[in-house]
Amino acid sequence: MNLGDVLADVRRGMIPASVYSDPELFELEKRRVFGRAWVHLAHESEIPEPGDYVVRRIVDDSFIVSRDEDGQVRVLLNMCLHRGMQVCRSEIGNASHFRCPYHAWTYKNSGELVGVPFHKDAYGGEDGLRRKGVTLMPAPRVDTYAGLIFASLDEHAQDLADYLGGFRFYLDFYLGQSADGAEVHGPQRFRVKANWKIGAENFAGDTYHTPHTHASVVDIDLFSAPKAAKRKEGALYFAGAGGGTTYKLPTQDFRENLRFIGYPDEMIDVMGSTWDAQHRAMVGDAGFMPSAATALPNLSFVHNWPVVDREGLVVPFISIRQWQPVSATETEVLSWFAVDKNAPQWYKDASYKAYLMCFGSSGMFEQDDVENWTSITQMARGQMAERLNLHSRMGLTRDGEPVTPEIDWPAPGRAYTGFSEHNQRSLLGLWCDLLDDAPDAQVDPAETPAARIATLH
Amino acid sequence: MSVPTTARRIRYGSATYDLVVEFLYTEAELLDERRHEEWLALLTGDVRYVMPVRVTTAHTLEGSTLPSMAHFDEDRYSLEKRVARFATEHAWAEDPPSRTRRYVTNVRCYEGPGDDELTVKSNLLLFRSRGDLYEHDLLSAVRTDLLRRDGDELRLARRDILIDESVLRTQNLAVFL
């Protein structure tokens, strides 16, 4: 593999098929994409109380995401400083301390090392092994937006707000429907034999697949909107770290449009007073509602509104999903259900039902997506695939002009209507920038947590 | 749903036990043969079909399911939609269909909770093979069923599926357990 050639091809929208299967490229992605980007780990509502924790990974690194006794969120490498054993081997729970099963070194849920058996006899006390100020290795950078907890392995990563940029605006539609934000439930976890990028690209902008891949859910009257004519009226926006798809709503009225997709008036009232004028204009005057979206590298969202009962009740649902790479050809999907904390209980129940029918491990949309993604990944392993550049130039003429011009867009970023792959190219463009021939994640040897911990001897 | 602590066990070899086993075998056969409409006919109108998400927890298996998230949490409406989807020409996840075989064992049968009801636990091993590229998937679970008498027949009123994996190694649940 010649990385420069691969990136040049990807940037012009002719994607070497092997980017979906090449183990050598995957090793680079680990260091340069997942080693540099801000990667989502959990939502704050998963760990509401002091001591609550979940265990999540960034590729091969396992982190304890805990809320310490002071209520602060900590992201701690799940690896004992002594022999490297995992100090926490359950994936969810509440604990004041984590004790390593091997030699019983013990850490508070803030990461602080507080227990070393026979500290005086074996190490000569603090003189031989400092405990004071020593912690499990924290993730180099941790920050949150809209309750989403992100970490970066790169000490010198730009701030999360700058990294997300204009994409933050769109997160508010999913996770900021009231001032208290969302609660998330899950995740369902399942493994698919597909490269992680395929799902990320799909959610970023692929409205073109909906009419055919998801024809079955239209056939059974679960969902009416994915009809081809309907989908191409939606705008595709890209801003900052990501982009997404929208549906065109039937009116220019904020309330009527939200009613149309099933939001009850009491939620619409709260959205109307929580969102700013720009959000309201996008849903109202412009009449666009976000559906699927992806933020670099592997965090996606979906918002849809199926029919949830025999009486024809339409209720929206929101899902957060993460494409957690296992290898070049395998991905663990983490799929959460999200709903506004202040939504009425009947709505939460109906929205949960809507989610389960559509997305996640048993979702009737998701099942058919994964069928495509596993097949692409398998084909990409072949020798012939090494000679094939996949055509990802939809929306561009041969000389690189947009087939339809950018639209006037009332929100951050740029947007087009009609079918195109502008978003997928933009997302992979950012991926190229991370992979590009630059040094690996900037680590100043004097400043790393590892160096600080090294003072323990 | 759990077995009522005071429930009387129905002995192996009794007529009722035989009826229950026959029901479970018939149901497995209908699913293996993708006779989903006939399978639906075995379910009550108020059926609930639940498969919680299993998680790895410390010390004990108690509470090793997420309280507010499931893989399936279905009623008759959503099960009918799933079945109707298989009958369309666009259900790619099961077209070509998986070859499945359900192994139903360790059947434990109890009276109640209602007069006309039985609580039945059974172990399930579901073998699933698709295409020709990959090894098969295996899904292992224990099911706790609420069966209701309907004349001489039994109907499934509730099924709780306790799956033995925290991360499913099958790419979707386009199959019933």
Would you list the domain boundaries of chain B? 9-163
Residues of chain A with Cβ-Cβ distance to B75 below 8 Å are 353
Compare CB distances from A337 to B69, B92, B168 and report the shortest one's residue. B69
Cut 0.90: pTM above it: yes
Would an 8 Å CB–CB cutoff place B50 in contact with chain A?
A: no
Q: What is the CATH topology of the domain spanning A165-435?
A: Naphthalene 1,2-dioxygenase Alpha Subunit; Chain A, domain 1 (3.90.380)
Compare CB distances from B85 to A213, A364, A366 and report the shortest one's residue. A364
> What are the residues facing A318 on neighbouring strands?
A303, A338
A38 and A157 Cβ atoms separated by less than 8 Å: yes
B97 and B51 Cβ atoms separated by less than 8 Å: no
Q: What is chain B written as a DSSP string? A: ----TTPPEEPTTSHHHHHHHHHHHHHHHHHHTT-HHHHHTTEEEEEEEEEEEE---SS-STT-EEEEEEEEEE-HHHHHHHHHHHTSS--GGGSSPPEEEEEEEEEEEEE-SSTTEEEEEEEEEEEEE-TTTSPPEEEEEEEEEEEEEETTEEEEEEEEEEES-SSBSSS---S--
Give pLDDT tens digits for A341-386.
999 999 999 999 999 999 999 999 998 889 899 999 999 999 999 9
pLDDT on residue A227: 65
Compare CB distances from B92 to A193, A332, A368 and report the shortest one's residue. A368
Query: Mean pLDDT throughout A423-446?
Result: 79
Q: Provide the residue type at A23 as one letter.
A: P
The whole-angstrom distance between B11's CA and the closest CA on chain A is 36
- Who wins on pLDDT, B59 or B160? B160
Residue A371 Cα distances to A192, A375, B172, angstroms: 9, 6, 9
Contacts of B93 (CB under 8 A, 6+ apart): A367, A368, A370, A371, B172, B174
The whole-angstrom distance between A44's CA and the closest CA on chain B is 16
The whole-angstrom distance between B93's CA and the closest CA on chain A is 5
Q: Where are any strands of DSSP class E within A215-355?
A: 235-239, 242-248, 288-295, 299-304, 317-327, 330-340
CATH class of this structure's domain A39-145: mainly beta
Residues of chain A with Cβ-Cβ distance to B167 below 8 Å are 189-191, 332
Identify the CATH number of the domain defined by range B9-163: 3.10.450.50
Would an 8 Å CB–CB cutoff place B157 in contact with chain A?
A: no
Long-range contact list for B134-140, CB < 8 A, 24+ apart? Answer: B134/A193, B137/B169, B137/B170, B137/B171, B138/B169, B139/B163, B139/B165, B139/B168, B139/B170, B139/B175, B139/B177, B140/B164, B140/B165
Interatomic CA distance for residues A355 and B9, integer angstroms: 38
Residues of chain B with Cβ-Cβ distance to A337 below 8 Å are 69
End-to-end CA, chain B: 17
A365: nearest Cα among A202, A244, A246, A230: A202
pLDDT on residue A249: 94
Break chain A down into helix, strand, coil percent, rounded to 5. Answer: 35, 25, 40
Would an 8 Å CB–CB cutoff place B57 in contact with chain A?
A: yes
Burial (0-12, 13-18, 19+ Cβ within 10 Å), A346: exposed
Q: Provide the residue type at A383 as one letter.
A: Q
Would an 8 Å CB–CB cutoff place B60 in contact with chain A?
A: no
Interatomic CA distance for residues A66 and A237, integer angstroms: 34
A25: nearest Cα among A279, A255, A197, A231: A197
From the candidates B66, B85, B161, B170, which should be mutated to test the interface with A, based on the most A CB atoms within 10 A?
Answer: B85
Given a cut of 50, whether residue A392 has pLDDT beyond it is: yes
Residues of chain B with Cβ-Cβ distance to A357 below 8 Å are 78, 81-82
Query: Mean pLDDT throughout A276-302?
Result: 97
A94 and A84 Cβ atoms separated by less than 8 Å: no
Interchain CB distance below 8 Å, B90 and A212? yes
> What are the residues facing A345 on neighbouring strands?
none
A290 and A251 Cβ atoms separated by less than 8 Å: no
Given a cut of 90, whether residue A116 has pLDDT beyond it is: yes
Q: Report the residue of chain B nearest A310, measured CA to CA.
A: B77
Query: Mean pLDDT throughout A302-328?
Result: 96
From the candidates A46, A47, A54, A190, which should be mutated to test the interface with B, based on the most B CB atoms within 10 A?
Answer: A190
Compare CB distances from B171 to A216, A222, A370 and report the shortest one's residue. A370
Compare CB distances from B82 to A92, A186, A364 and report the shortest one's residue. A364
Interchain CB distance below 8 Å, B93 and A367? yes
Q: Can you tell me the ipTM of this complex?
A: 0.96
pLDDT on residue A437: 65
Interatomic CA distance for residues A205 and A419, integer angstroms: 9
Compute and round to an integer the Cα radius of gyration of chain A. 23
Given a cut of 60, whether residue A453 has pLDDT beyond it is: no
CATH 3.90.380.10 domain residues, chain A = 165-435
From the candidates B56, B78, B170, which should be mutated to test the interface with A, based on the most A CB atoms within 10 A?
Answer: B78
What DSSP character marks residue A199? H
Q: Tell me the two tokens of residue A45.
A: 């509502």
Interchain CB distance below 8 Å, B73 and A310? no
Give pLDDT tens digits for B66-94.
999 999 999 999 999 999 999 998 888 88
Residues of chain A with Cβ-Cβ distance to B166 below 8 Å are 91, 189
Other C-beta atoms lying within 10 Å of the C-beta of residue A8:
12
At A69, give phi and psi (nearest 5°): -65, -20
From the candidates B92, B138, B177, which should be mutated to test the interface with A, based on the most A CB atoms within 10 A?
Answer: B92
Would an 8 Å CB–CB cutoff place A154 in contact with chain B?
A: no
pLDDT on residue A440: 52
Sort strands A61-67 and A52-58 into parallel, antiparallel or unpaired: antiparallel
Please, which pLDDT band fits residue A454 given cuts at 50, 70 and 90? very low
Sort strands B43-54 and B153-163 into parallel, antiparallel or unpaired: parallel
Given a cut of 70, whether residue B107 has pLDDT beyond it is: yes
Given a cut of 70, whether residue A446 has pLDDT beyond it is: no
Place of tokens 């991370």: A434
Interchain CB distance below 8 Å, A89 and B56? yes
